[in-house]
A and B are shown apart, each in its own frame.
Chain A
Amino acid sequence: MKLGYVELADDPRYADRGAHSGIVFTDLGRPYQGSQVALEDARAIGRVTGVEFSMEKATGKSADELAQRISKWATDDDIHFVLADLPAAALKDLEDGLADRPVMLINISAPDDSLRGADCARNVAHTYPSQAMLSDALMQYLVAKGWLQIMVLQGPTPEDAALVVALQHSARKFHANIVENRPFLLTNDPRNREQTNVALMTGGVRYDVVYVADGSGEFGRYVAYETSLPRPVVGTAGLVPTAWSWSWDRDAAVQLQHRYERIAPPRRMNGADWAAWEAVKAVTQAVMRSRSTAFDAVRAFLLSDKLSLDTVKGNPGSFRAWDHQLRAPVLLSTADAVIERAPLPQYLHQTNVLDTLGIDAPETACRF
């Protein structure tokens, strides 16, 4: 059984992020190798079910080009499950381009809530956590610690704005308070010192914690130890909610970390790698347990509540019926450790505690 994998040649998310003057300061990186680890893991499943799993990869210049490739895959090569490492806009265009085809896309790197809400699609599932899940995980921790007064430092990009929207939603949900939202700019112009000098930016207000919304990563890493009041830094710097951390060592994570590091040196596994690994695992598990490689049968099992995926973060995962988001724990990580795993034990839920993270059934804007 062949799976597909698509990515954009000039994906702005990878273009110049995470590196400055050639020094890499984040774990950002394309997640293809994550999928390869899962394929290797699936070899034994293949021997037992008589199904050989393989993957075809396509790097396109646009969503249209990828849509054409995937359509051809579906008709000529019997490829119906495709992992997509795309920014939200491209993924939406791709979804539209494949509307009636027997193809299921699995989003492995875009956290945008719109993809799980108004822009959801029946043949799209998400293994990467939504922004709402990541924000809720952080908020559960802040509220559990009693750090309820939050100072926000917001960057200039739309991505940064989306982070703050999700934070506001989480603050309402878990009863925390955003005391102030101050913008920052990436500039050395002294006329803008109020938007570049962290001590100035964080003065004159009382708060328990500083939340940084900085998708570029360039500003956020210098906030800690510069704030006017001595406060923890959270958000895109300091304590960061992530799908995965290379330092996570519980729940048999170490074996997975090592399998990844063996095939992808010098990289270590990041959140999108984990999501790609989970996506392939979801398909191979669905094939094994439904005993079929037919698109409808595998898709049905994959989206059903019978799917029980090892998330390697403690709880078994499955896809939410209302928006096809994989429910899974979220890790709260620093640069070299995982401080806590969400959902925290204090938070309860009627059916599954994993659903305390992210948009729940009654609130969803998704209509398939």
Chain B
Amino acid sequence: MTQSRECGYEKGILLALVVLGLALSTGARAKGTGYVFVSHEKTNNIAVIDPKQDYKIIQWIPTSHRPRDMKFGDNRALLYVACGDDDVIDVIDVAALKVADHIPTGRSPEMFELSRDERTLYVSNEEGSSVQEISIADKLIMREIATGAEPEGLAISGDGKTLYVTSEVTDMVHVVDTEAGVVTDNIVVGTRPRRLLLLPDGKQLWVSNELSGQVSVIDRGTNRVLTTLDFLPPGFRQADVTPVGMTLTKDGKSAIVALGRANHVGFVDTATRKIETYVLVGSRAWGVALSPDEKTLYVANGLSDDLSIVDTESRKAIRAVPVGRVPHSVLVDD
């Protein structure tokens, strides 16, 4: 063979390899694992469940102590989890299913949000009565915004300019201007507000009030409470209904509220604000998440150590999968 043909073959192989490599790497990101991730407060790990393998737990990812809230980042290549007893956010490589990095936070991080450009983390510090703004790249706390005692739930507006945070002890939602880094308004809601849900119409903010058994509906234009939704599943007293986690279908038409010690979730039509049905799940339902096709709802039951699997069309719980101790949050990959 002549030299030119050998070079041609080598180049061809090299090009093929590069193309294959590109295809593989973009494939791993775009396709998604389909896995369901559940964080456990007491066993300090995350269970990885594969719905395609009959909801088998295919792996346990050991994390720092007391993992709670979880969020995807970098187009689902990364999974961030707040570890409350080690004051750190673990960064998990989703492809490898392993903790790859740690971002130090203030004391006892529970819930957090990513800024729209994914360069900043907003972390609520239950013990420090503040929200900290942390640079992901530099791992530095850039700003600290003082809140009422025990801040928890966070929500960021679509344009990234407004951050809402609940203060459990002062019974209010703080409205924060993210550019200025200051609280600009405070909205008094029910008793012990925990989590927030922004509706895609951009006009409403829902707040779950754990001890008044209600969800407050806030008009974002005026920062006033428009109305409250009262939850009362059959067989329970008002005092037993402790709403915490909430989620929404992508079209914003249906909201699901986990009712804590009332061991049910409630399906709500967001337009009419009617509670359409209650579904019995496990003990102390807090974390909720929908599958990508929205046909399945996953509910983390903190005090029965299991994950309820609810069929959203029939609105019935079809199974409960035992997981680790005190499951907190659930997150589903595409």
Which residues of A are in contact with B by a Cβ distance under 8 Å? Answer: 40-45, 47-48, 252, 255, 258-259, 285, 288-289, 308-310, 314-316, 352-354
Contact partner, B167, options A44, A316, A354, Cβ 8 Å? A44
Is B192 in contact with A47, judged by CB distance below 8 angstroms? no
B23 to chain A, nearest CB (A): 49
List the 3 shortest-distance A-B pairs measured between CB atoms, nearest first. A44-B148, A44-B170, A48-B186
B188's contact among A48, A258, A309, A310, by CB below 8 Å, is which? A48
Q: Does B145 contact A (CB under 8 A)?
A: no
**Which listed residue (B148, B191, B211, B212) contacts A45, Cβ 8 A?**
B148
- Asked whether, in the complex, the Cβ of B192 is within 8 Å of the Cβ of A310, the reply is yes
Interface assignment of B172: CB less than 8 Å from any CB of chain A: yes
10 A-B interface contacts by CB (under 8 A): A42-B170, A44-B147, A252-B150, A258-B127, A288-B171, A308-B190, A308-B191, A308-B211, A316-B191, A354-B239
Which A residues are in CB contact (< 8 Å) with B261?
314
Q: Which residues of B sit under 8 angstroms from A255, Cβ to Cβ? A: 108, 126-127, 149-150
Interface set, chain B 152-205, CB cutoff 8 A to A: 167-172, 186, 188, 190-192
Minimum Cβ distance to chain A for residue B286 (Å): 13
Q: Which residues of A have CB within 8 Å of B129?
A: 44
Q: How far is the CB of A253 from chain B (nearest CB, A)?
A: 11
Q: How far is the CB of A292 from chain B (nearest CB, A)?
A: 14
CA distance A315 to B242 in the complex (A): 10
- Interface: B116 (CB within 8 A): no
Instruction: Determine the chain A residues whose CB is within 8 A of the CB of B295 once the complex forms.
Output: none
Determine the residue in chain A with the shortest Cβ distance to B194.
A252
With an 8 A cutoff between CB atoms, is B250 at the interface? Answer: no
| Chain B residues within an 8 Å CB radius of A259 | 127, 149
Chain B residues near A352: list those with CB within 8 A.
237, 239
Closest to B147 in A: A44
Min CB–CB distance A39 → chain B (angstroms)? 11
Q: Contact between B148 and A310 (Cβ–Cβ < 8 Å)?
A: no
B276 to chain A, nearest CB (A): 26
Cα of A361 to Cα of B315 in the assembled complex, Å = 42
* CB pair B186 A47 closer than 8 Å: yes
**A48: chain B residues within 8 A (beta carbon):** 170, 172, 186, 188
Which of chain B's residues have a CB closer than 8 A to the CB of A314?
Answer: 261
Mask: chain B, 92-135; 1 = CB below 8 Å from A; 0 = not: 00000000000000001000000000000000001101000000
Interface-central residue, A47, A285, A308, by most chain B CB under 10 Å: A308
Q: Known: A252-B168, A310-B192, A315-B239. Contact between A44 and B127, CB under 8 A?
A: no
B213 to chain A, nearest CB (A): 9
Binding site of A, secondary structure by majority: helix, strand, loop or mixed?
Answer: helix
Q: In the assembly, what is the distance between CA of A48 and CA of B192, in Å?
A: 16
CA distance A352 to B127 in the complex (A): 32
Interface residues of B, count at CB 8 A: 24
CA distance A285 to B148 in the complex (A): 14
- Our pick among B108, B126, B169, B191 for the contact of A41 (Cβ within 8 Å) is B169
Distance in angstroms between the alpha carbons of A11 and B168 in the assembled complex? 36
CB distance from A307 to the nearest CB of B (A): 10
Within 8 A of A (CB), among B15-72: none
Residues of A within 8 A of B191 (CB): 308-310, 316
Q: Kindly list chain A residues whose C-beta atoms are within 8 Å of the C-beta of B149.
A: 40-41, 44, 255, 259
Chain A residues near B172 (CB-CB < 8 A): 44-45, 48
Are the CB atoms of B212 and A308 closer together than 8 Å? yes
Note all chain B residues with C-beta closer than 8 A to A309: 191
Residue from A42, A258, A316 in contact with B211 in the complex, judged by beta carbons closer than 8 Å: A316
List residues of B (283-311) whose CB comes within 8 Å of A's CBs. Answer: none
A45→B237 contact, CB < 8 A: no
Q: In the complex, which residues of chain B have a beta carbon less than 8 angstroms from the beta carbon of A252?
A: 126, 150, 168, 192
Q: How far is the CA of A354 from the CA of B148 in the complex (A)?
A: 29
Compute how far the CA of A43 lies from the CA of B147 in the bound complex, rounded to whole angstroms.
10
- Is A41 within 8 A of B211, CB to CB? no
In whole angstroms, what is the CA distance A45 to B188 when docked?
9
Q: Which of A44, A289, A309 has the most CB of B within 10 A?
A: A44
Q: Contacts A44-B172, A258-B127, A308-B212 known; list 5 others, CB within 8 Å.
A: A45-B172, A255-B127, A255-B150, A310-B191, A316-B191
B258–chain A nearest beta-carbon distance, Å? 17
B236-271: CB near A (< 8 Å → 1, else 0) gives 010100000000000000000000010000000000
For A46, the closest partner residue in chain B by CB is B170
Q: How far is the CB of A66 from chain B (nearest CB, A)?
A: 30
Smallest CB separation, B51 vs chain A (Å)? 32
B186 near A316 with CB under 8 A, answer: no
* In the complex, chain A residues whose CB is within 8 Å of the CB of B186: 44, 47-48
| Selected contact of B239 from candidates A43, A44, A316, CB within 8 Å | A316
Nearest A-chain residue to B213, judged by Cβ:
A316
Instruction: Determine the residue in chain B with the shortest Cβ distance to A284.
Output: B170
Given contacts A252-B150, A259-B149, contact A353 B237 (CB under 8 A): yes
Most buried by A among B127, B147, B169, B237: B169
In the complex, chain B residues whose CB is within 8 Å of the CB of A353: 237, 239
Contact, CB under 8 Å: A310 / B167: no
Chain A residues whose CB sits within 8 angstroms of the CB of B188 once the complex forms: 48, 288-289
B268 to chain A, nearest CB (A): 22
Give the complex CA separation of A332 and B192 in angstroms: 24
List residues of chain A with CB within 8 A of the CB of B168.
252, 310
